[in-house]
Structure 1
């Protein structure tokens, strides 16, 4: 096949060239700007809106504990069936992200990029306000749903035992392991958040893939884990001191480091070091829209000229 001097395939119509351009994956700078704008919008929300959305997310994340417990209690014993039961871990994440509720570990990337782009005292204040409100809301929701699942006559004895086993599995880690696994978990969630804007049509698959791997690796997550471990506390098997000092504190620190200080910082540094800046429209979608709106006008002009 012959090619034009500039390497472009000959014989393409303007419509075909436009289609090729639209099918190109967005540049890293466009992804960065898309997530940064989302984070800036979250930083502007008032405290009440953030808290209620975070509380709803905490309650919804109880679906992960519920799904894993139900699957574990109904599947035969064996490592192979545990692999299947781990799919239940994705349930809460799917519901929270698709419902656009506030999840703390998402905000370790989205809300951090505006601060990295403009590191002012005001932006740091907005970030810590967002983190504090969302974290409190998430924990209130997960603790409440764990309490309800234990004390209301909802599940049979076998399922209740499965919930306890899930919490015991988490607490097999010491504080150092909680921290190290939390770093991986925070990094994986940040990777998921970064991938979604470029693959909106595959959003569900991305969420399931990342969170399923988190479950298989027993990586610790502050929100899901708080439901799993607080279930043990409410059942009288674990003191609150261990909940906060062994699980929550190290896991929270690991999630923040993995999501903010590793993934977000490196991603931001990549954009700045390359000098790669987003289009003035802020995203490729805006450019596509302009092109589609211009197309009829150009056609009308040609007809008038003819």
Structure 2
């Protein structure tokens, strides 16, 4: 089942065979094979989630590009977020869906490494981008007169680019810490994707250094950004409470609700996956949580921003008005 180069194979005192995991030609996914009766249901649900994710996020990116009124910092960041969701969901779900149809449940080493790097890079980038979006709302509400100056186009591009660079570099550090490790003659991954925690379970050498690196990165990308978001929204809440009119408060807060919902959804799932107590070690729970994280979260993000954002609704109505056959759909949006 495992294909190893002869010169890279050696024996330990316990008789186990070790190999650098780059010498493994093919990995095998267990996926949800322990639940044969519901595999078809899982496939159908995942396919539906992926299609909604793809269509919803492409719709948000398209409408942001087509409507000039949405060429603002908030929607620049939102376009990056939706693009990240497309990549994350595609990297995790499409191989699983393809394996289900083909019945092979395999992935090459290069495919596994690419999949793991993409999931780490996209997830890390989103961890950095979300607090930047909170900072954008903070400036817009707490310092509206200077908002165009502070959040100018150059600054926004630098923030978005910095988020991508940070995510890609942290993913590279994690990848480089895993690649030299040795596997115990086993290429069966108890997961539906090449998730880094599932890969580490195949390693039979000391992984304390890798776990320390992952813990440091997890703390930097999860609790610290959440703290920045909380601080931003504390100032936002204080500023909103100083607004005298109820209508003004409602309008100010409505610009933040979609982002808040996405933050709670994203960080709630990420924290439960990567910072759970060490006593909790159920790979089956991990798989279902990863499925929700890869499918449900990217699917709900465009729905949340579409339903909770009046500007998106107005932009959609403008596009539909150009087509006389869409009057019935426009009436539904009112």
TM-score range, shorter chain: under 0.3
Which structure has more strand as a fraction of its residues?
2
Normalising by structure 2, we get a TM-score of 0.26
Which structure has more helix as a fraction of its residues?
1
